[in-house]
Amino acid sequence: METLEEGELCFPELFNSSCRKPKAPRSRVVLLYILLSSISALTMALNLLVIISISHYRQLHTPTNLLLLSLAVSDFLMGLLMPGNNGLVGGCWYLNDLICSLYYFGCFILFSTSVGHMVLISVDRYVAICDPLRYPTKVTPRRVKLCVCLCWLCAVSFNCLLLKDHLRQPSRYISCRGECMLVIDHIAGVVDLALTFTSPITVIVVLYMRVFVVAVSQARAMRSHIVSVTLQRSGTVTAKKSEWKAARTLGVVVAVFLICFIPYYYLSLAGQDTVNTAFSVPFENWLLYCNSCLNPLIYALFYPWFRKTVKLIVTLQILQPNSCETNVL
């Protein structure tokens, strides 16, 4: 099998300062290129369908769907950044050091916004299930838009502080040309762990536990009064079932999010520095990227409106006059 030689340089013309490519089968590198490019294309395509669906069809302009729309934008941008990992897979970074720092900066912002959106989604479902009568007045489109803007602003501000040294001095940890390295020391890792993982995850778990308790109590109440349910009450029950279905679907989204993000924070939990380098693409990083692709797949499995809008988009019926008024629910 043909392999990359240990002594092959990233920049042969810069013998003294160039990094050396890691020894790896060429077929493996090509396979990783193809795999990552395919995941990137699929991520962008699926999230673009979510963005078009929610943006175009007026029936989908709900507070919950506004959160899903913003999350889809974040996931779409993550798919757009994925090809940058091709340089990491091959073992050489051919762009300059500033682009390397900006690449990681962009990825960190999108990771942080994903966490923020999961918290907002959990709060939305908590209010919808536990305080349904006041949900329309508490959770308005204007407030949701404000929360989404704050989520993005906080993500940008926090990561500017977290990576300020890398942004000021991009070659801070670069030992040779062709290396793209990001090092987060233990203290910064602990702060990142607390603000972008531990605290948000605690909020998410507590809120969904509360939703579960309310679900059990309401289910018992409904069973005990099932005989006296009137037609009007039946409509209320149907509405509640719709809310529960949405909560279940978004619960799956949050569960998948946890599975994808927990391994990444293992090093911080273990008290180690976090090191991302061009000579290795850790498995936990792949999980983070795959999470952006999995969200729209979950919508396709659980949301009939998404499957219907995808069909309308693919068959170009979306181009017809007044298609935005189409009944998709």
pLDDT digits 0-9 by tens, 92-146: 777 788 888 888 889 889 989 988 998 998 899 888 888 888 888 999 999 999 9
Checking if the pLDDT of 148 tops 90, the result is: yes
Given a contact cutoff of 8 angstroms between Cβ atoms, the answer to whether 85 and 78 are in contact is no
Q: Is 320 helix (H, G, I), strand (E, B) or coil?
A: coil
**Above pLDDT 70, what percent of the chain?**
76
- Residue with the bigger pLDDT between 63 and 32: it is 63
Residue 195 pLDDT greater than 50, yes or no: yes
Res 269 pLDDT > 90: no
53, two tokens? 């669906």
Q: How many residues does the chain have?
A: 329
- Chain-centroid distance of CA 151 in Å reads 13
Q: How far apart, in whole angstroms, are the C-alpha atoms of residue 279 and residue 273?
A: 17
Tokens found for residue 191: 């702060």
Reduced to 3 states, what is the DSSP secondary structure of residue 132?
helix
- For residue 87, the model assigns a pLDDT of 57
| Residue 188 one-letter amino acid | A
**Residue 274 bridge partners (DSSP):** 184
Q: pTM of this prediction?
A: 0.81
What are the residue boundaries of the structural domains of the chain, listed by start?
26-325
Q: Flag whether pLDDT at 90 surpasses 70.
A: no
Out of 1.20.1070.10, 3.20.20.220, 2.60.120.260, 3.40.50.1220, select the CATH number for domain 26-325: 1.20.1070.10
Q: Could you give the count of Cα atoms lying within 13 Å of 115 in the half-sphere of its Cβ? A: 25
Question: Which residues are 280's β-sheet partners?
Answer: 277
Q: Give residues with Cβ within 8 angstroms of 186, minimum separation 6.
A: 268, 271, 272, 273
